[in-house]
Amino acid sequence: MAPPAERMKIMRERRRQKGLRELRLVVPDSRSVIVRQNIAAQVARLRPESERDALAWIEVVSEFDADAAG
pTM metric for this prediction: 0.49
Per-residue pLDDT at 35: 97
pLDDT average, residue stretch 35-40: 96
Spatial neighbors of 38 by CB under 8 A, at least 6 apart, are: 28
- Does residue 65 sit in helix, strand or coil? helix
User: In the chain, what are the domain boundaries?
Assistant: 4-69
Taking residues 17-24, report their average pLDDT: 92
**Does position 67 have pLDDT exceeding 60, yes or no?**
no
What pLDDT does 33 receive? 98
Length of the chain: 70
Q: Which residues contact 3 (CB under 8 A, 6 or more apart)?
A: none
Task: Report pLDDT for 66.
Answer: 58
pLDDT at 69 over 60: no
pLDDT number for residue 63? 77
